[in-house]
């Protein structure tokens, strides 16, 4: 999922995406450990998506804090 689509989501949806990707990462690592994972590059891709989600969550929370501080 690219950053533009993620930026359209609100904080609750982003937190849900984060939870989903963390669970997927756990499952991928487990499959890799038992030798069932064919596409190991998916682990790296999911880690990058998680980083994107966390970055956007941080950006949104900072903008909410700064707008609340201005009032």
* pLDDT digit string, tens, across residues 18-51: 999 999 999 999 999 999 999 999 999 999 999 9
Domains identified in the chain, total number: 1
Residue 26 lies in a domain: yes
> Considering only CA atoms, which of 25, 24, 17 is closest in space to residue 52?
17
pTM for the complete prediction? 0.90
Domain hosting residue 42, numbered range: 11-70
- Report yes or no on 59 lying in a domain: yes
Q: What percent of the chain has pLDDT over 70?
A: 99
Q: What would the DSSP string read from start to end of 20-35?
A: HHHHHHHHHHHHHHTT
Task: Say how far apart CA 34 and CA 11 lie, in whole Å.
Answer: 35
Query: Is 2 contained in some domain?
Result: no
Residue 5 domain flag: no
- Mean of the per-residue pLDDT values of the chain: 95
Q: Is residue 40 part of a domain?
A: yes
The band of 67, judged by pLDDT with boundaries at 50, 70 and 90, is: confident
**pLDDT value at 71 more than 70:** no
In a domain, 4, yes or no: no
């Amino acid at each position: 999922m690219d950053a533009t689509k993620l930026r359209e989501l609100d904080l609750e949806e982003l937190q849900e995406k984060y939870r989903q990707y963390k669970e997927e990462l756990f499952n991928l690592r487990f499959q890799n450990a038992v030798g069932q994972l064919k596409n190991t590059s998916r682990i790296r891709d999911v880690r990058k998506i998680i980083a994107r989600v966390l970055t956007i969550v941080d950006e949104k929370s900072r903008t909410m804090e700064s707008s609340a501080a201005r009032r």
